[in-house]
Amino acid sequence: MGYYNDHYPKSPRKKNRRWLIPILLGIIIGILLVVVVMPNLMNSNFTPDNREEVRQSDNGNNVTNKQVNVDVSTQITDVVGKVSPAVVGVTNIQRSADFWQQQEVSEAGSGSGVIYKKEDGYAYVVTNHHVIEGADAIEVVLFDDTHIEADLMGSDLFSDLAVLRMDSKHVEKVIEMGTSGSVKVGEPAIAIGNPLGQMFSGSVTQGVISGKQRTIPQDFNQDGRADWQAEVIQTDAAINPGNSGGALINIDGKLIGINSMKIHQEAVEGIGFAIPIDTAGPIINELEKEGTVKRAYLGVEIYSLDEVPQSEWNRTLDLPKEVEGGVYIWSVDPLSPADRAGMERLDVITKLDGKEVMNMIDLRKILYQEKEVGDKVKITFYRDGKQQEKTLKLTEQD
């Protein structure tokens, strides 16, 4: 607008038009703000939808409530939205007869599963063996609550994996496979499943990878002795009953593990386990095609030496002092590889192909993970206090 000197009169011949320049600049800037800047701000979510509501308080004063809607989408929410339709519920249905021999159908248990393949009109689901164990019928519950009857293609006790097949008519999403070999301790992990049954279907928990290549003892027959050691991924993402068989995914939404178990102790919190997908992959393929996992068969009932009192090592088994561990044979299956090789009851096996065997888990790991049906194996054992060796050909158990 300019400054004026009050001591001098205005010239009647000259009109001061400098006030037009600021007004024109203001108009131009205003147009630019409305036409260019505001739409960009709206698209970039810098201007939340603000709403004001005026109400009267108890004392008669006006109070303004301001509602702000903010976009909270993150990479995790996007990943969960993409993957969740590929995670399903699995219901174990069993039939029983009452006193009058009338059949009753009941839900014996439930868990989770992951749709990993869609082919030739069928969809394939991987879940845990213990989820479907003993089932007379199996039902899969999709993300949208559609119920589909499924067939059991195969199941394996030692890996705790099972494969189901169902009609793919209502299946839209298949999970993307990742790799567990490259996961790092501390990286994000997301568990998706159905804890406590279908009431909480599609539940999501987030954590990190707490450990790799953990070994957890498994007691299948509940006799207090470990029958196997499962190699698992440890995570602090909550895995509760019903989550079994669900997906453990990375931040990219790729499957890195099949949720399997949680340590149930009051003093323990945030320790869950999943079967690494690199371990599960070959077993899933074999179960889908063969219905079972073919493992090398020795044909003996064995027990670890550490289950026998030290006094019996010398008195009954006649073992020399340098023997520190092994497995003893309790029985030999007729016509088995061990029987044909001349193995006998109370023989103590200490090595397979030169590898030390301290207990029955060591023996099973060598047979199941390093040997195949048809392979030859050299057994080092003790009988009547003397070390002996025999070579036998492994077969498949009938």
pLDDT digits (tens, 9 = 90+) for 84-107: 999 999 999 988 766 566 666 666
Q: In CATH, what number is assigned to the domain containing residue 235?
A: 2.40.10.10
In terms of pLDDT, which residue wins out, 41 or 300?
300
Which residue has better confidence, 195 or 305? 305
Q: How far apart are CA 214 and CA 189, in angstroms?
A: 16
- Residue that is last in its domain, among 290, 316, 333: 290
Residue 4: the pLDDT is 32
6 located within any domain:
no
Report d(CA 245, CA 160) in Å as an integer: 9
Distance of CA 63 to the CA centre of its chain: 50
**Whole-number pLDDT of residue 59:** 54
Over residues 117-121, the mean pLDDT reads 94
Residue 304 has pLDDT above 50, yes or no: yes
Calculate the average pLDDT of the chain: 81
Q: Tell me whether residue 1 is in a domain.
A: no
Q: How far is CA 188 from CA 158, 184, 208, 262, in A?
A: 28, 9, 4, 18
Do 318 and 258 have their domain in common?
Answer: no
**pTM to 2 decimals?**
0.72
61 in helix, strand or coil?
A: coil
What local confidence, expressed as pLDDT, does residue 102 receive? 63
Residues 207 and 123 in one domain: no
Q: What is the pLDDT of residue 199?
A: 58
pLDDT at 391: 94
Please state which of the ranges 211-215, 331-335, 388-392 shows the lowest mean pLDDT. Answer: 211-215
Residue 247 lies in a domain: yes
Name the pLDDT band for 287 (thresholds 50, 70, 90).
very high
> What confidence tier does 60 reach under pLDDT thresholds 50, 70, 90?
low
- Given a contact cutoff of 8 angstroms between Cβ atoms, the answer to whether 303 and 341 are in contact is no
Q: According to DSSP H, which parts of 75-230 are helical?
A: 75-83, 129-132
Indicate whether 65 and 83 sit together in one domain: no
Query: For the chain, how many residues are written?
Result: 398
The mean pLDDT value for 189-217 works out to 80
Final residue of a domain: which of 141, 167, 193? 167
Based on the structure, what is the number of domains in the chain? 4
Mean pLDDT of 159-173: 94
pLDDT given at position 2: 37
Note the pLDDT tens digit of each residue in 366-394: 988 889 899 999 999 999 989 999 999 99
258-281 pLDDT, tens digit per residue, is: 998 655 444 455 688 999 999 999
Check whether 16 has a pLDDT greater than 60: no
pLDDT category of residue 64 using cuts at 50, 70 and 90: low
Residues 185 and 286 occupy one common structural domain? yes
Are the beta carbons of 303 and 332 closer than 8 angstroms? no
- Percent of the chain having pLDDT more than 70? 74
pLDDT at 55 over 70: no
Q: How confident is the model at residue 31 (pLDDT cuts 50, 70, 90)?
A: low
Do residues 391 and 306 both lie within one domain? yes
Residue 57's Cβ-count burial label (10 Å; 0-12, 13-18, 19+) is exposed
Q: What residue numbers bound the domain in which 210 lies? A: 179-290
Q: Of 254, 272, 290, which residue sits at a domain end?
A: 290
Confidence category of residue 228, pLDDT binned at 50, 70, 90? confident
Q: Which residues are catalytic?
A: 130, 160, 244
Lowest mean pLDDT among 28-32, 59-63, 160-164, 273-277: 59-63
Residue 4 within any structural domain of the chain: no
